Each structure stands twice: as C-alpha cells, then as structure tokens.
Amino acid sequence: MKAIRNGILIVPDETGHFCSKEGLTLLYDEKIRAIRPEGKDAGHADLEEVYDAGGAYVAPGFLNVHIHGCDGADTMDADSDALDKMSLFQARTGVTAYLPTTMTCAFSDIAHALCTIRHAMHGDAHGARVLGCHMEGPFIAPSKKGAQDAAHILPADFSTIEPYADVIKIITVAPETLPDDAFIKACTAHGIVVSIGHTAADYKTAAHAIEAGAHHITHLCNAMTGLHHRRPGVLGAALDSTANCELICDNVHLHPTMQRIIYHAKGGKHLILITDSLRACGLGDGPSELGGQKVTVRGTLATLADGTIAGSVLCLNDGLRIFRTNTGAPIPSIIEMVTRTPAKELGLYDEIGSLSEGKTADFAIFDRDFRMRRTVVGGTTYYKK
C-alpha cells in the first residue's frame, strides 16, 4: 500500500461534480483503496511509500482523446515503439490514458495503425495507457480537410471499419457526406462515439446528426462552418446542444476571447480539452512531418508549406493553464474536462476519471500553474519532478 498526503484532492462532491478538499490521505496500490482524513492511515504499518504532495493538487489522471503524436513519434508510424514513446511523454504532462489518433491516409496504412493500437490496448502500459483509437478521417469533407490529404478521403462505410470496431472509440465524420443516419446508428450500436468534424455542414445538417447520435465535436471551430447570425453553422449547432466539444487551447487554434465565449455558452459543461498534437510536440522549432506532409514549427505554430495550421505542439497540462488564464474557470471544473467528461463519454467512468475508492490508481499531481510534479498510472509512478 502507498499513500499521498498533504495535497489538495480534486474529488466528486455529492452531485458528482468536482470540488477541492484538503486534509485527506489517499491510500492506493494498483487501485484506490481509501480516501480518509489525514492521520487515519497511521495504522497501516505496511505502507511502502508515502508521498508528501506539499500542498499541490492531486487529481485523477488526465485523458487525451485526440493526439496524433509527440516526442518525435506519431500514431501513423504504426509501430509499438512509437506508441511507447508517446505514452512515456504523455505521462510527463499528467496524461494517464489516451486515444492515439489516425488521420486521412491510404486506408491500408490506417488499418496497420489500428492493428498496432489494438496490440497496445492489451499490452502492459509503459506510461500513459492506450485506450483505443480516435479515427480522424478519411470520412471527411474535402473543402474542410485542414492538414489532411484530400487524395485519401473516402465516403463513410461502416463495413470498412467494422473489423476494427473494438479499437475505434471515437470517429470523426462530415455529416453532410452521409446519405442517411445508418452510419451513425451502426457506430453507436458498436460503442463508437461519432464526432462531427472536418465538415462544411450547415446548422440543420449538424443539428440533425447530433440528434441522430453524433454527440461529439472534433476540435470545435477548426475545420467547420462558423457562427453567423443567419447561418449558425456547425459551431452554432454545437453551442446549442449538449454535444461534447473538443477545444485546442493553445491560443493558436482558438483566440482567448473565443475560449471564453464557448465556456460561457456551454455553461462550463460538455467540454473536452485536447492537444491534437503532432510528432513535433516537445521537440522545439524546426521541420517535422504529418501524414507524409512537410510541417514547419515556429514557437506554438505548426504549419504546412501553404500556411495551413497542422495540428499543435501543445502539451495537455499547458492547455489547462491557458484555458484557466483565458476563462477564469475553477481548477476542479477544468479537471472535469480532461477526466470525468471524456471518461463518461467513453463508458469508462466506473474504472477511471475520478478519485474514488475502487477505481484505477491514476493520478496527476501539479501546482497552481499546472506544472507537473508526479504522474501515477495504475499505481506506478511514471513521472516525478
């Protein structure tokens, strides 16, 4: 048994939403065994490790549901060593579980990546745990492809992805390319979250897709129709619903003012902060690559040769800090956006996503500026300052 003392624990309150509490000790091995007032663990003579958090926040480990790569590795490398590298880097940022994200490439390459992810899902974690895949493309709109390769865009067909239904946890699709609701219904029946993204859909089409079961929005505002007072677009449909909306809070993809508008429009709920990072994340300025396309990184901006923004170089803990600075949202509420909300959406909240007895011992420990001090995955420390 191990213990964490002297921290500010972010735990569910009586409504299920998060609040911060002091004066508690957390006891764990591979699971959370108890959360009790400090001093009540004195009878545990078998404690093998006691970590003094020194007044830092102790939160459930973060979930990153949209990440292409980091630290020189990419999901489309379709290589177990690349996923291990990503897992270890993600743990440095407080992430304890994630969805490696594919992109629009030849489907044979996507299939290879999905098989690699499947193997990682069932293997031993080396850092952050691989939960499955977010499949971003190839079922997208050419006019809103962003940094994806239009040559490999395909019409949505569930039979194409059905062999990988156990791996795909979220799939991005442009709803205006669907002839009917069959694709959305089939995905939902197989436990796949359907996300609206890379789409030129109008408000009516997007709202219908949400009603049909597409309850997730891929990187809100980016690669979709925006908000106009006579044409609300996908953005309007997202804000006018309970769909979970991804946000890339690097101040490149979303202006600080837009982050505040979205936060207030959604009432602080149904938001999921992501990174959408590429292999250049963590490597600094210079040349990189995304889906076979050349990328240049300067500071926080990653672009293709034509200037198109190509993912991000954001670390998730930095995104949390930026979002708090821009919105003034309380830390417990922000933590819900990378723990409780995505875990519930993925059907995993009984196992992860909160500091609750019996759940997996996944922790992110950080200071008020979201600088990481320690990350624990399944009871094992994978990062410590």
Cβ-based burial of 347 (10 A; exposed 0-12, middle 13-18, buried ≥19): exposed
Cβ pair 276, 309 in contact under 8 A: no
Is 276 assigned a catalytic role?
yes
CA neighbor of 223 nearest in space, from 211, 235, 232: 235
Cβ pair 222, 248 in contact under 8 A: yes
Of 276, 285, 306, 318, catalytic: 276
Instruction: Please give the Cα distance from 348 to 343 (Å, whole number).
Output: 5
The 3-state DSSP class for residue 280 equals coil
Instruction: Please give the Cα distance from 272 to 48 (Å, whole number).
Output: 36
| DSSP E strands, 314-366 | 363-366
DSSP symbol at 164: G
Identify any residues that bridge with 215 across adjacent strands, giving them in sequence order: none
The 3-state DSSP class for residue 151 equals helix
Q: CA distances (Å), 136 to each of 29, 78, 103, 131, 230, in order?
A: 36, 15, 5, 16, 29
Cβ pair 324, 263 in contact under 8 A: no
User: What count of Cα atoms within 13 Å lies in the side-chain half-sphere of residue 99?
Assistant: 28
**Catalytic residues, which ones?**
276
